[in-house]
Amino acid sequence: MTPAVGKKATGLIAATFTPLTPEGEINLAEIGPYVDYLLEQQGVKSIFVNGTTGEGMSLTVEERKMLAAEWCSKAKNKLENVIVHVGCMSLKDSQELAQHAGEIGADGIAVISPSFFKPATVGALKMFLQEVAAVVPAVPFYYYHIPAMTGVHLRSRDVLEGIDAEIPSFRGLKFSGSDLMDFGQCVSYSPSHWSLLYGMDEDSFRSSTYNYLGSSVNRLISAFNKGDLTMARTLQFQVQDILCYAMDCGFDLAVNKQLMSEVSGLVLGPPRLPLLPCPQSKAVSIARKLKQVLGVQ
């Protein structure tokens, strides 16, 4: 097979939540309405599924396959990019999910580092990534760096060194770390056809909060691109006001997921254990603040 070409990921990319029933089972029925909400209400055209926000590491391989297939099916001819996280503790499970993502037409795959038996060196990590990418050489490949969750603190810049020769399908990095020196060096090193997915960079913006703040952030970007810095700052401060309030309330994945339900009307259900459900009153309070700041009903 020829190496991946694919579309470069640009614009907002929402890290999606996984809809569950009250009993904790996968709820595929909400995915179609979820896609429509992102596109029509938030102007979000790309998604990252089965990642941290989607509780991917709490799902079985079969559940992740079902979800990936449904997201790709419902996003077809609507969204621009569906990037599926396929990383697992097991190389074989990661390869199985990668193969499946290729079969269902995913626009890209992302892989997290194993975190029980951790790679001791950059070389070991790159060997793992290479083995996963090799099963679907035509699918754009992203390394997902999130050291706070994996405990793997290898520098991403070192991982990127020469990676395009080792993984021809490599198309970028999802950087969810706090070491901005490392990220800055990644930006400096990266060729133009790669996408670096962070909170904010010049090509792509990736966040769970774009599930319900996408419209505001799209307006912010539009104002900035037009040179209207006054409007851009106003919108930026509004978003910051909402997120600061949320963090003061105690903002974790369970709260974030319940907040999305309150704002969107989608029935996303609780998180899966060991995460505990969010008290509805907390999410309602944050949703009220969001609507007050943005002036929406």
Q: Annotated binding residues, as ranges? A: 53
What are the residue ranges of CATH 3.20.20.70 in the chain?
Answer: 11-208
Q: Annotated binding residues for pyruvate, as ranges? A: 53
**Collapsed DSSP state (helix, strand, coil) of residue 200:** coil
Active site residues: 144, 174
Class of domain 11-208: alpha beta
Beta-carbon count within 10 A of 77 CB = 5
Q: Which two tokens stand for residue 123?
A: 């070389």
- The answer to whether the CB of 44 falls within 8 A of the CB of 38 is yes
Question: How many residues are recorded in the chain?
Answer: 297
Rounded Cα distance, 76 and 2, in Å: 23
Per-residue pLDDT of the chain (297 residues; tens, 9 = 90+): 334 556 778 889 999 999 999 999 999 999 999 999 999 999 999 999 999 999 999 999 999 999 999 999 999 999 999 999 999 999 999 999 999 999 999 999 999 999 999 999 999 999 999 999 999 999 999 999 999 999 999 999 999 999 999 999 999 999 999 899 999 999 999 999 999 988 533 344 458 999 999 999 999 999 999 999 999 999 999 999 999 999 999 899 999 999 999 999 999 999 999 999 999 999 999 999 999 999 887
